[in-house]
A = this chain, B = another copy of it.
């Protein structure tokens, strides 16, 4: 049952972007929130939803356009050297660790003509923006 301070324990993420740098950044924020014991809800829209399609998660989703060639090569070498976790693995661990739920936005599903069966098992369900917003207490971040 929600009480006055319930918002402190909830973290809502609207995940719109589908480039690997933003997905990595978002997944680390989610893992941080889950480690703090916060309940996390993620709504996948547009290009983020596209990135969560089955068999596409592990593929190269590029970087934000501002990365440029220099940035891309830095990250590539860094990833090789450090064996950094893929964002999907970070999200999987966050789901094991805490209460993290990933919803595909019903509106974006229609736009991209997707069924839940087309999505990676990381995605829990298809959900409307209205119910996501109704449930969102406390911090909401758009990535």
Contact = CB atoms under 8 A, between A and B. Distances in A.
A62 B67 CA distance: 11
Interface string A49-84: 010000000000010111100010011001100101
A32 B129 contact: yes
Interface residues of A, number: 53
Given A110-B78, A140-B141, A25 B14 contact: yes
A130 B32 contact: yes
Interface in A121-143: 129-130, 132-134, 136-143
Contact of A25 (B16, B28, B35, B65): B16
B66 A112 contact: no
A22 to B, nearest CB: 7
A8 interface: yes
B136 A139 contact: yes
Interface string A105-130: 00100111100000000000000011
